Chains A and B, each alone.
Chain A
Amino acid sequence: MNSCPKEIVEYMHEYLDGDIHPSHESVLKTHMQDCASCANHFQELSKVVALVQGVSHVTAPVGFVNGVTARLPKEHKTVSWRR
């Protein structure tokens, strides 16, 4: 892999950003057909993306809003009068 063109890894990232020029894409694909090491590198990067995207969503704990309200500075007196 040390003899691979330096820009190949750069093209992998362009590809993963969905932002790759067609000419770079064809260079990348052609290269990966011949280079198992780069193909593996690319597969690992794709796996990272899938793993990170696959982490499930968490939600704020119960009582979160009340917790914020309790921490807010007191309302201005002028407003309380108007109510």
Chain B
Amino acid sequence: MDALINKRIQEVLKGDQTAFAEIVELYQDKLYRVCYRMLGNKQEAEDMAQEAFVRAYTNIHTFDTNRKFSTWLYRIGTNLCIDRIRKKKPDYYLDATVPGTDGLDMYSQLAASDERPEDEVVKMEMQERVQYEISRLPEKYRAVIVLKYMEDLPLQEISDILDMPLGTVKTRIHRGREALRKQLSSM
């Protein structure tokens, strides 16, 4: 796979857009899936995933072919989604920490913009409910949970994608799991 991708990248570097379309074909589902799970909205996911490919194209000369292409692509995509999530919520959400709670409950103090009434949430289909609860997680937990459990990626690769130490990835997965446990306790 990587040998084929590197060949296509060489062609793209020579200015061949058709070769890039082949790369998009190969990775579209992976990238769209991550964006969709992080954003919880099909239209936004399509927009962000397409934007990620456009940025990959314009920055392709910066890609180190000794590394894994999917890691690089995931990084572009998750960064775009994280930026989008941050822009959508009020400023105070960003740095809000609740003293003495180990950072765990900060999200629960603040209503997300698309928060739904309790009785509506109870009636959701299981899959819809899980997606909804994921989209209520703070983005820093959301990214690790999506990459770990929906993409089934090794912790080291998640650490490379998100450009953070392995220990931080683990802590965020632990907190993400605890947060989801509380949110899903009624199921």
Contact = CB atoms under 8 A, between A and B. Distances in A.
Contact of A65 (B28, B126, B185): B28
A contact face: mostly helix, strand, loop, or mixed: helix
Nearest to B58: A73
Contacts of B75: none
Best-surrounded residue of A52, A53, A58, A61 (most CB of chain B within 10 A): A52
B74 interface: no
Contact of A75 (B17, B54, B170): B17
B32 A71 contact: no
A29 interface: no
B20 A72 contact: yes
A71 B50 contact: yes
Interface in B1-36: 14-17, 20-21, 24-25, 28-29, 31-33, 36
Contacts of B14: 79
Interface in A4-21: 9-10, 13, 16-17
B127 A69 contact: no
Interface string B96-133: 00000000000000000000000000000011001100
Contact of B173 (A17, A59, A61, A71): A17
Interface of B: 14-17, 20-21, 24-25, 28-29, 31-33, 36-37, 42, 46, 49-51, 53-54, 57-58, 126-127, 130-131, 134, 145, 149-150, 152, 155, 170, 173-174, 177-178, 180-181, 184-185, 187
Interface of A: 9-10, 13, 16-17, 41, 44-45, 47-49, 51-61, 64-65, 67-69, 71-73, 75-76, 78-79
